Amino acid sequence: MYRKIITIFILTSISYVGMSQFISLGVKGGAGFSIGNIYYEGKSKRTDGLRRLANFNGGLMLNLKISTRWYYHSEAIFEDKGSKDIEHIDSLPRNKNYYAATLRERIHNYFIQFPQTIRFLIALSSNEKVLLYVEAGGYFAYYINSSTISHLFYDNTVETNIDKIDWADESSNLATFHRFNWGATVGVGFLFPIWKGQLDVNFKYDRMLQPFVSQSNSEKNYYDVIGITLGYTLPVLYKDFH
């Protein structure tokens, strides 16, 4: 009798999941606010003048519904992770004179990132059309290249310099830049029905677990991103089992 009950429960669960299973595809885009976190011998190292950098992120996403409340969510996105730095210079030599100056620098590191999360949905309306979700998971990423943009302000003058570089090719015995990267991601969002699909409003937090750069003096640099995105998905596969 006990085995029959277990068997019926398993078959019912499989049938229920199968009836509700579908796949939706979509696009997303938005803003991220990233900053580098420097650690020395495992302890956080404060860097004066370092600020979060506003940047763009966006790409493709896929949802696989595995039950009434649970989804598997996958993305392939472009992600810009960097920081901006402000440095005040007391005595800048220019044309045989010395000036007080301010250096503003933005560092952009470009990645192709693949977040993979599990979402849990909570209905906010009686017809269950408006939904709140929470999600958690991880990501792996591939580093492409970087650019640095600097502006030097002094004596009503601005000097601008833009450089493009592939840090991974610049690795040496003193510093290793990792081409492949992975980390953790958590988020919260809302789903609204629009036409035949869903509008996805997402707030996320990503944190590197593999450092972007490891230096020989035991210093390591990790980036984290606070992101806000808008996405839209349409169902492309629906299976109904009788």
Total domains in the chain come to: 1
Q: In terms of residue numbers, what domain contains 34?
A: 2-238
Distance separating alpha carbons of residues 85 and 102, to the nearest angstrom: 10
Contact of 176 with 210, CB cutoff 8 Å: no
Q: What integer best gives the mean pLDDT of the chain?
A: 89
Q: What is the CATH number of the domain that holds 168?
A: 2.40.160.20
Which pLDDT tens digit goes with each residue over 159-206? 999 999 999 998 888 899 999 999 999 999 999 999 999 999 999 999
Which pLDDT tens digit goes with each residue over 99-120? 999 999 999 999 999 999 999 9
pLDDT category at 230 given cuts 50, 70, 90 is very high
Distance separating alpha carbons of residues 31 and 235, to the nearest angstrom: 25
Among 80, 33, 36, residue whose Cα is nearest residue 212: 36
